[in-house]
Structure 1
Amino acid sequence: MQFSGTEKYIAPPELSVAVNAAVTLQRPLLVKGEPGTGKTELARQVAAGLGLPIIEWHVKSTTKAQQGLYEYDAVSRLRDSQLGDPRVHDVANYIRKGKLWQAFEADHKVVLLIDEIDKADIEFPNDLLQELDRMEFHVYETGETVAARHRPVVIITSNNEKELPDAFLRRCFFHYIRFPEADTLRAIVNVHFPDIKPRLLDEALTQFFELRDAPGLKKKPSTSELLDWLKLILAEDLTPEDLRRDAGEILPRLHGALLKNEQDVALFEKLAFMARRQR
């Protein structure tokens, strides 16, 4: 099983190496990178490239590790016992299977995505150590042990909002997705917009990198934001000349797709003001 990208996903060589190394080592692949660099989409494209189904577990700030294994619905069981429902005699009727359980009991190998693990409590990764390492867990209510029929390909994403525990990191193969170089970014754009005119793309990328490289930005625009911006440019049928800015004009057309907070907009407005004063 070798991953080298798909028709819809341009994977740099080092990223393909990381995916294949994690598969060979049977270790979770921990993928970090700034938001919008395609970490979540990577898992979906790995599944597509390897011909495997995918199970997605999107982590929130309130998510507990136990939810990935199973949840016992004691409230429903109590209610049913009061109503005389015969289902109460089998506790298994009140066990809700989590994403890990679904991946472990699948008839075929699957890709398991644990998305944005750093959103959860700091204990969340530690609580999954044994389950991801041994690929099994115990269900106390029924007394059964659930073991993986086929070891899933586990891909874990993080936006680096929290530091992950060392014990967890030791069990993962790590890869940081760097922001794409211009040539790679051009290839990514051509996958999504194959009919875009080269001159328009040249002008858009020039302005995008100028914006991204501006010092003091709170949030640099990402690949996904570039794609949104280009979609708007194409929808408006803008030309390279339309995109070009006048002297002293700093913000690009439709900049709301690229800049996502008022501090960054204010920064460029200040730069524009200073440029006009110097003329």
Structure 2
Amino acid sequence: MSGPDAPDSTDWRVFRATGRAPGEPSRLPGPPPWRRFGGGPPLLPPPDDPEAALRRLGPGDHVPQLGPEQIDTVNAALLLRRPLLITGPPGIGKSTLAYLLSRELRLGRVLQWNIVSRTTLRDGLYAYDAIGRAQAIAAWQGAEQRTPADGGPPPALGDFITLGPLGTALLPYDRPRVLLVDELDKSDIDLPNDLLHVLENGSYDIPELVRDAARSARVHTDDPEQFAPVSGGRVECREFPVVLITSNGEREFPAAFRRRCLPLEMRALTREQLLAIVSGHLGSLPPDAEAMVDLFVRRVRAGGTHSLDQLLNAARLTTVDGFRAEGEGRKLIETLLRDLAKGR
């Protein structure tokens, strides 16, 4: 790689927000002594998910959305092995940053944990299908009574445990996983505090496996068709994951939680950035794109709640053969670009 985006051996930054992956995976700087973890043995590299990155980032070159100070904040979080707490209005691209980081640093599939008001810490760590295991044991016992010689071993406990996005991110990979904790401000008031121990220690226990007579188990992970060994019921990372926590600012987080995160505020996109994003996602600018972007910018500046998805949907509609943006078509464009804060 050459040019302004080429790595500089004297530059402490490993992330430059270009969205272009180097030929070889970027080498991350070593963690501080207090952020080193001893999980193992190391697992194979995780699978990639280029289709998810394509949906989030578009097929063209990524349009820079971060300024120098914001890029430095991301690099500081990478260096210090601390979560990023990303704030900004809805639809501005907060969650997209996780896919940008994963592509540029070649860290594999993004693990996404979507938060709702009922979400608990255990939802992110693992799920145990107790009913499924009871049914499997009953079926096995019935088979044993019918054909004792062919019954086989009883169902393994690990077959009924599936690690969640957070639980998978804390497995002992040689390179950190990217974990997106989306819209934490929608959670129950206790969840940020519950996260503190896990984010500080990089480990957790699975009580069902701790109590199991077998010393090790093979469990499902959040990655499709992937498994991981767990010894003694304890999971500990080797490299602390790249954790991105998004918030729409619906409430404040406890000081103890904010102390463990680096704050990153996403700012409104400029007209030029919006035009470049539309062009990158659609391959070229539709004829009415500039007028549509100007309307979008005016509405955002007037204090409305609008999402980048709305603009991309409206722009895509104008590229369909036979669609006209005048008359009734104009009314449909207005509907797509409506203020989301006003309900319908």
TM-score range, shorter chain: 0.7 to 0.9
Q: How far apart, CA to CA, are the structure 2 residues paired with 1:208 and 1:47?
A: 29
Deviations 1:61-108 (A, max 9, x none): 3221112112233333333444454536x5434322222221222534
Which position in structure 1 is the counterpart of 2:317? 232
Q: Is 2:284 the partner of 1:195?
A: yes
Which position in structure 2 is the counterpart of 1:132? 199
Does the C-alpha gap of structure 1 residues 9 and 135 become closer, same or farther in structure 2, counting only changes over 3 Å? farther
Does the C-alpha gap of structure 1 residues 200 and 76 become closer, same or farther in structure 2, counting only changes over 3 Å? closer
Q: Given residue 170 of structure 1, which amino acid in structure 2 is its aligned partner? A: R
Does the C-alpha gap of structure 1 residues 129 and 261 become closer, same or farther in structure 2, counting only changes over 3 Å? closer
Deviations 1:185-218 (A, max 9, x none): 3333332245226x8444333322233333xx6x
Which position in structure 2 is the counterpart of 1:277? none
Structure 2 residues without counterparts, runs of 5 or longer: 1-13, 20-60, 142-152, 211-232
Does the C-alpha gap of structure 1 residues 142 and 261 become closer, same or farther in structure 2, counting only changes over 3 Å? closer
Which position in structure 1 is the counterpart of 2:336? 257
Does the C-alpha gap of structure 1 residues 9 and 148 become closer, same or farther in structure 2, counting only changes over 3 Å? farther
Q: CA deviation at 1:113?
A: 1.1
Q: How far apart, CA to CA, are the structure 1 residues paired with 2:300 and 2:311?
A: 10
8 Å CA contact 1:70, 1:97 repeated in 2: yes
Q: Which of 257, 270, 291 pairs up with 1:181?
A: 270
- Structure 1 SS opposite 2:197: helix
TM-score by length of 2: 0.64
Which position in structure 1 is the counterpart of 2:66? 12
Does the C-alpha gap of structure 1 residues 233 and 156 become closer, same or farther in structure 2, counting only changes over 3 Å? same
8 Å CA contact 2:305, 2:340 repeated in 1: no
* CA-based RMSD: 2.9
Q: How does 1:155-166 map to 2 (within 5 A)?
A: 155-166=244-255
Q: How does 1:1-279 map to 2 (within 5 A)?
A: 1-6=14-19, 7-13=61-67, 14-53=69-108, 54-85=110-141, 86-87=153-154, 90-105=156-171, 107=173, 108-143=175-210, 144-196=233-285, 200-214=288-302, 219-235=304-320, 254-260=333-339, 263=342
Does the C-alpha gap of structure 1 residues 29 and 206 become closer, same or farther in structure 2, counting only changes over 3 Å? same
Q: Given residue 4 of structure 1, which amino acid in structure 2 is its aligned partner? A: A
Does the C-alpha gap of structure 1 residues 87 and 30 become closer, same or farther in structure 2, counting only changes over 3 Å? farther
Q: CA deviation at 1:18?
A: 2.3
8 Å CA contact 1:8, 1:192 repeated in 2: no
Q: How far apart, CA to CA, are the structure 1 residues paired with 2:158 and 2:285?
A: 55
8 Å CA contact 1:3, 1:46 repeated in 2: no
TM-score by length of 1: 0.78
- Structure 2 SS opposite 1:114: strand
Q: How far apart, CA to CA, are the structure 1 residues paired with 2:162 and 2:253?
A: 28
Q: CA deviation at 1:263?
A: 4.4
8 Å CA contact 1:3, 1:19 repeated in 2: no
Q: CA deviation at 1:123?
A: 0.9
Q: How far apart, CA to CA, are the structure 2 residues paired with 1:202 and 1:226?
A: 11
Structure 1 residues without counterparts, runs of 5 or longer: 246-250, 266-279
Identity %, equivalent residues: 32
Does the C-alpha gap of structure 1 residues 193 and 2 become closer, same or farther in structure 2, counting only changes over 3 Å? same
Q: Count how many residue pairs are aligned between Structure 1 and Structure 2.
A: 252
- Structure 2 SS opposite 1:178: coil
Q: CA deviation at 1:261?
A: 5.3
8 Å CA contact 2:111, 2:165 repeated in 1: yes
- Structure 1 SS opposite 2:243: strand
Does the C-alpha gap of structure 1 residues 201 and 132 become closer, same or farther in structure 2, counting only changes over 3 Å? same
